[in-house]
Structure 1
């Protein structure tokens, strides 16, 4: 059970979709259980997600 709580609960589905897209592109095998993944693999997915979200935000404010 995760202790992370989304500020906007409705965003969870979108974030999961983005996570799966990024993981697939980076060839990181995400599944229901990710205990076998390295910190580097998980971090690369999270970092790429943040990068894309920042780029999208910046493009909207221009």
Structure 2
């Protein structure tokens, strides 16, 4: 389990029914990246989750459990 603060700065590309997805600039979004892995007894990675969240009041272990 690991976590770090990140800032998303790229323009959004909302889905369109037809045509290209235009880039829409906006303000940077502060978030938290939570990485969770499930390992076998031998240390092999069985599963890995990458979660971006803006929830600050919940610890990373609980967020990973919810995910």
Larger strand fraction of residues = 2
Tell me, yes or no, whether TM beats 0.5: no
Q: TM-score, normalised by structure 2?
A: 0.20
Larger helix fraction of residues = 1
